[in-house]
Amino acid sequence: MRFPGHDPHHREDIVIGPLDLPSRVDEALAVQAVAFGLGADEIAVRRQIVLRHMTYPGARALGATTPDGRLVGFVYGMPNDRTHWWSTIVEPYLRAQGLDDWLDNSFVITELHVHPRYQNRGIGRALITAITDTADEPRSILSAIDTDSPARGLYHSLGYVDLARQVLFPSAPKPYAVMGAPLPLRRRG
């Protein structure tokens, strides 16, 4: 999949494809640090978490790379497992809405980030659509900071709906929304 750059003076083809995340974790976290805002201490913590996540059954990643091989975006996820930390945090919020069956037979999007210089070109949409297209599960879930962000706008346009709001993760300063969508994700138009 190729995405011509929008800048006519600097056209560049971005390729979406499988990403060996454990071996490129530092590049991925550098993208996440500038896209999402992570400090050095948080990067070190995330590094261990990402490496552990990639050992989970069915965990996989896709990257968006420039012709010269620079990583400018990535997504990763896995089949949800109710024993995973994320799932144990969101479960009571979903159960309170009678929606915790979304935790079964669901592909969870754990991270999605695009470098700010490459945002708004369809790369985020392509990454999340492509990875969920590889899922055997009939639906997908994720969490996003509970605000009107580009991320939430993108997820809504792909068919994700709010399953729970104001979800608090230990140590995260801002509340999150948990969102779910049927697969395959909705296409544009």
Tokens coding 94: 């979903």
Considering the rule CB under 6 A, would residue 19 count as an interface residue with ligand COA?
A: no
The three state secondary structure string of the chain is: CEEECCCCCCCCEEEEEECCHHHHHHHHHHHHHHHHHCCHHHHHHHHHHHHHHCCCCCCEEEEEECCCCCEEEEEEEEECCCCCHHHHHHHHHHHHCCCHHHHCCEEEEEEEEECHHHCCCCHHHHHHHHHHHCCCCCEEEEEEECCCCHHHHHHHHCCCEEEEEEECCCCCCCCEEEEEEECCCCCCC
Considering the rule CB under 6 A, would residue 66 count as an interface residue with ligand COA?
A: no
Which of 98, 127 has the CB closer to ligand COA? 127
Among 114, 135, 141, 185, binds ligand COA (CB under 6 A): 114
Q: How far is the CB of 100 from ligand COA (least distance, A)?
A: 21
| Contact characters 153-172, ligand COA, x per CB under 6 A | xx--x---------------
Tokens coding 118: 């490459």
Considering the rule CB under 6 A, would residue 36 count as an interface residue with ligand COA?
A: yes
Stretch that binds ligand COA, among 42-50, 90-98, 132-140, 148-156 (CB under 6 A): 148-156
Considering the rule CB under 6 A, would residue 121 count as an interface residue with ligand COA?
A: yes
Would you mind telling me the total number of residues written for the chain in this entry? 189
Considering the rule CB under 6 A, would residue 175 count as an interface residue with ligand COA?
A: no
Q: How far is the CB of 20 from ligand COA (least distance, A)?
A: 20
Among 48, 97, 105, 120, binds ligand COA (CB under 6 A): 120
Considering the rule CB under 6 A, would residue 112 count as an interface residue with ligand COA?
A: yes
Considering the rule CB under 6 A, would residue 123 count as an interface residue with ligand COA?
A: yes
Tokens coding 30: 């550098």
**Residues within the interface to ligand COA (CB under 6 A):** 35-36, 112-114, 119-125, 144, 149-151, 153-154, 157
